[in-house]
Structure 1
Amino acid sequence: MADDRAATATLHRGLALEAFDSHLFRRNSATVTAKLEEYLDGTSIRGLRLTDPALLGRAARALMTRERQSIPALDEQKLSAIVDLYLRTGIQLHSPGYMGRQFSGVVPLAGVIELMTSVAGQPASFYEAGQLPNVVERIMADELNEFIGWDPERFSMVTTSGGSLANLTALLAARNRAFPRFWSDGAAAAGRRVRPAIAMGDNAHYSLSRAAGVMGIGEEQIVRLPVNRHGTICMERARPVLASAERRHLKVFCLVASAGTTSLGAFDPLEELADLAREKNLWLHVDGAHGASLLVSDRLRHKLKGIHRADSLCWDAHKMMFVPMPCTMLFYRNKEHGYGAFRQEASYVFEQEPDIYTALDSAEQNFECSKRPMIMSLWALWALYGPALFAEKIEYLCRLTQEIYHEVCAAPDFEALHRPEANILCFRYRPDSRLADAELHRLQLAIRNHIKAEGRFFISKVNVDGVAALRVVMMNHQITREHFQMLLDDVRNAGRTLLGNDQRRDKEKE
């Protein structure tokens, strides 16, 4: 009996160790890589086919071992099926049919680097745990600051897991500069009659109002600045709104500008907003999660004219720098402000006597303690290909968006809602100018749902002036003008079918 238990223990230990075996790792990697190679080579136009969650759940459960008492040997057929299921049910980022969101298919090499950082994990908040990630974070900060234009001796950069967290961190730094005792004393630090407030464009990303809520700043203390027909902050109307906020005892401490709004991809006037921020002693934060990447292009950099006057900048590399999610960089014009968001003592991680190693620690500047070395995939691409790789793809996508804008303008049954500034275009199918807004709204939503259900193209939607619009984001360099023309044909056919069905129902009611 004792011999049986010993043999069983030895077997279990062997199977447990097998899961960590390097030869098995190579075999598993080959299985997954072959599937990904096939995925990347696919030329079919495919969007997104939604699967009934119950069916998908059953398919996923069928791939799970039922063994609970011992460790089974790895079933490589199930591994292959898991990869197939994942790739088949996700958004097809590398297909010309994908035009829906602001995240893109990655440069494949970046995925290889992510594999390395996943297996050889190095938490990146502390130099001693992730030496190279912390060094290359400084290197990439210097490289990208060449395009921003801040004093190289005074600025700083820290990586965060996503633009939402970067925006929150910057707003915390701005608040703590304006109200130095807020961190320790809470809202009482602002005084009894003063209510801290944040000013932002009326179409700013929802993460900013969410960040305000996290900080205890209610919706009533968010000063919404009107936007013009281009979707950018209207300077003529911004000043009266700020004056009104002052009369309501709102103490605006931060002005947020957008460089590439989510809805339209519009760029707020940074120079004019910088003048306003300086005049009123406000922190100017730029949410450039989407559009900051245009800085690497000589042809497009002018969209962010005045960025050097901002106090902080959020920049998502997982959007227009084509690396895996999430990879966000938060820049500060004054590196001292980078330590202003969080003010804590923790002897188990923070060093009381800094040296050349701990000087590269970033944990005091970001919310995360354990943080992926997300900068590695961006640095590897930059190191091996340089900035031209990014600039050429970004320029192509923006040029393509201009071309499809003209396609929409030339079609009598479509209307373009703005001239694109980057790679986002909103438009509507409108065969009859007499359609009321409510009917037009329902039609666009129905068309979008029809297109998604067909599974050939994946597009998004957004409300523009209260009426739904179809929205495309050009993130894939494999998309051509011809692909967009095919999408317009599909939209037109869907619209005609939907309108015809509506007319038939109206006749039946008569």
Structure 2
Amino acid sequence: MTESLQSGLLVEAFDAQLFRENAETVLSRLEKHVADLSIRGLELTDPARLRRAARALMTTERDRPAPFDEERLAAIVDLYIKTGIQVHSPGYMGRQFSGVVPLAGVIDFVSSVVNQPSSFYEAGQLPNVVERIMADELNRFIGWDPGTFAMITTSGGSLANLTALLAARNRAFPGVWARGSSELEGPARPAIAVGDDVHYSVARAAGILGIGEDRIVRLPLDAARRIDVARARPVLDAAERQGLNVFCLVASAGTTSVGAFDQLDELAVIARERDLWLHVDGAHGASLLVSDKLRPKLRGIDQVDSLAWDAHKMLFVPAPCTLLFYRDAKASLGAFRQTASYVFDEQQNIYTALDSGDKNFECTKRPMIMTLWTLWAIYGQALFAEKIEYLCQLTQDAYALVEKQPDFETVHVPEANIMCFRYRPDWLEEKDVAAFQVAIRDRIKGGGNFFISKVDVDGVAALRVVMMNHQVTTEHFQMLLGEIRKAGQEK
């Protein structure tokens, strides 16, 4: 009876031969996309127009599965590629995500087809094993004693920051998980200390945790836009006098705005003095650890309590793939405290010991570690180190070029691969500087050759480039400066 209810079109949709044909159709277009190194930026499409185009590609069949249409599939893929940010182009200098190493995309495709959620060993055996392998591999650059630390993967740096702050809060206020936010009230109100350039996800986490944005203690920055260690202690002392109980200090390894690296070794001293959990948002910059040349930027990383590290930024794998490290393996159990007999076994065995569902928010989690581990297994550390070092050197070279231009100004010395600057022709009035930079950014984006971003530095907008593509050269950056000058002359 059940067999008669299955139409031939249902069976066709799962057919292995059709799957191969689908893959070949998509692969031919992706190959062309990756090979296209022309200079192109972001072509923004009117949303209403894009909606009509997407609607036109949808079958009108409602009563039964529609027959497969290869032309429709090809058109969908073409539209998808065309309307995205062209991360493989030398014109792409705008954001912190990268064109992936193509092999990583292939492995992500495998993960999508075999569909092995990886929070539990029985559902994703290899992902759980290689997660432990990659933890050990990357800890060689962090420096914790083997067997004493823990690492889990999670979906993005924002969720990693939230998870680490949950663990820190629960350590400081162990009753809050069971009894709720009433445990956070009292004469000493819980608070989090952050650098003034901290990522917005930390402020969000404070709200979610019941701490509140008003209890975020913002530490002043030095000239390099790092937490000013000399002025941090007085600010923390003032917070204590105001009745705030700071339990966690959040530092940055590569701030989103300018790519600044806080002095982790010196902040660790402050954290030890005051019994603070020291968390590092290294979503962007932690990847410099894999480079022998650049690793000193994170001096003191072995002294922190937790570290968020986005592999989908500077390790060039598909998003999301975030690694959350804890110096103390036991601390990784502090973020969540549930019992659920359908997934959690009270008595561990050699299989359930590798489960991570009790340590990360997701129950169903993509096997994101597979892309990173496969690249590491095939190419090794040097692939990543070489690209990262090139991008950082390219940014230094771009900075030197801007410094020589009389009509441009730099606003910081780049520490990695993010650089912010302003176009300031001599006729530009001071009151118009900020709005002019935004207008330049918009005109560059509209021109279709380059994609750059903007950020406010000291309250004034600046142009921002993020070097994520090793196909970009100083010649491409000089072309960008020419486009900026041209855009500045438009009325």
- TM-score bracket, shorter-length normalisation: over 0.9
2:271 alignment partner, SS class: helix
2:120 — aligned with what? Answer: 126
Alignment of 1:23-172 (within 5 A): 23-172=17-166
Take 2:79 and 2:228, find their aligned partners in 1: how far apart are those partners? 47
Q: Is residue 183 from structure 1 mapped to residue 196 from structure 2 by the alignment?
A: no
1:488 — aligned with what? Answer: 481
Take 1:213 and 1:55, find their aligned partners in 2: how far apart are those partners? 37
Q: Is residue 476 from structure 1 mapped to residue 469 from structure 2 by the alignment?
A: yes
Take 2:109 and 2:453, find their aligned partners in 1: how far apart are those partners? 30
2:341 alignment partner, SS class: coil
Q: Is residue 236 from structure 1 mapped to residue 230 from structure 2 by the alignment?
A: yes
2:251 — aligned with what? Answer: 257
The structural deviation recorded for 1:48 is 0.2
Q: Deviations over 1:376-406 (max 9, x none)?
A: 0000000000000000000000000000000
2:367 alignment partner, SS class: coil
1:197 alignment partner, SS class: strand
Q: Deviations over 1:355-395 (max 9, x none)?
A: 11100000000000000000000000000000000000000
Say what the alpha-carbon RMSD is for the aligned residues.
1.3
Take 1:50 and 1:121, find their aligned partners in 2: how far apart are those partners? 33
Q: Is residue 17 from structure 1 mapped to residue 11 from structure 2 by the alignment?
A: yes
Identity %: 68
Q: Which amino acid aligns with 2:162?
A: L
Take 1:56 and 1:424, find their aligned partners in 2: how far apart are those partners? 32
Take 2:342 and 2:5, find their aligned partners in 1: how far apart are those partners? 39
The structural deviation recorded for 1:179 is 1.0
Q: 1:352 aligns with which of 346, 355, 359?
A: 346
1:255 alignment partner, SS class: strand
Alignment of 1:62-461 (within 5 A): 62-190=56-184, 192-432=186-426, 435-436=429-430, 438-461=431-454
Take 1:258 and 1:284, find their aligned partners in 2: how far apart are those partners? 11
Take 2:59 and 2:4, find their aligned partners in 1: how far apart are those partners? 21
Take 2:90 and 2:454, find their aligned partners in 1: how far apart are those partners? 18
Q: TM-score, normalised by structure 1?
A: 0.95
The structural deviation recorded for 1:189 is 2.6
Take 1:78 and 1:166, find their aligned partners in 2: how far apart are those partners? 39
1:482 alignment partner, SS class: helix
Q: TM-score, normalised by structure 2?
A: 0.98
1:74 alignment partner, SS class: coil
2:251 alignment partner, SS class: strand
Q: Deviations over 1:454-494 (max 9, x none)?
A: 11000000001111000000000000000000000000111
Is residue 196–residue 221 contact of structure 1 (8 Å, CA) maintained in 2? yes
Take 2:164 and 2:189, find their aligned partners in 1: how far apart are those partners? 19
Closer, same or farther: CA 348–10 of 1 in aligned 2, 3 Å: closer
Q: Which amino acid aligns with 1:236?
A: A
The structural deviation recorded for 1:187 is 2.7
Q: Which amino acid aligns with 1:337?
A: A
Q: Which amino acid aligns with 2:473?
A: T
Q: Which amino acid aligns with 1:482?
A: E
Q: Is residue 467 from structure 1 mapped to residue 460 from structure 2 by the alignment?
A: yes
- Unaligned runs of 5+ residues in structure 1 are 1-5, 502-510
Q: Which amino acid aligns with 1:293?
A: S
Is residue 173–residue 341 contact of structure 1 (8 Å, CA) maintained in 2? yes
The structural deviation recorded for 1:433 is 7.9
1:322 alignment partner, SS class: coil
1:216 alignment partner, SS class: coil
Take 2:143 and 2:6, find their aligned partners in 1: how far apart are those partners? 59
The structural deviation recorded for 1:201 is 0.4
The structural deviation recorded for 1:47 is 0.3
1:507 — aligned with what? Answer: none
Is residue 12–residue 70 contact of structure 1 (8 Å, CA) maintained in 2? no
1:3 — aligned with what? Answer: none
Q: Deviations over 1:167-198 (max 9, x none)?
A: 00000000111111111122333452121110
Take 2:269 and 2:105, find their aligned partners in 1: how far apart are those partners? 42
Take 1:241 and 1:58, find their aligned partners in 2: how far apart are those partners? 55
Take 1:134 and 1:294, find their aligned partners in 2: how far apart are those partners? 25
Is residue 110–residue 378 contact of structure 1 (8 Å, CA) maintained in 2? yes
The structural deviation recorded for 1:319 is 0.1
Take 1:294 and 1:287, find their aligned partners in 2: how far apart are those partners? 13
Is residue 97–residue 483 contact of structure 1 (8 Å, CA) maintained in 2? yes
Closer, same or farther: CA 171–433 of 1 in aligned 2, 3 Å: farther
Take 1:151 and 1:176, find their aligned partners in 2: how far apart are those partners? 24
Q: Which amino acid aligns with 2:289?
A: L
Q: Which amino acid aligns with 2:228?
A: C
Q: Which amino acid aligns with 1:446?
A: A
Q: Which amino acid aligns with 1:148?
A: I
Take 1:261 and 1:37, find their aligned partners in 2: how far apart are those partners? 34
Q: Deviations over 1:190-237 (max 9, x none)?
A: 452121110000110000000111111111110011112211001122
- Unaligned runs of 5+ residues in structure 2 are none
Is residue 12–residue 71 contact of structure 1 (8 Å, CA) maintained in 2? no
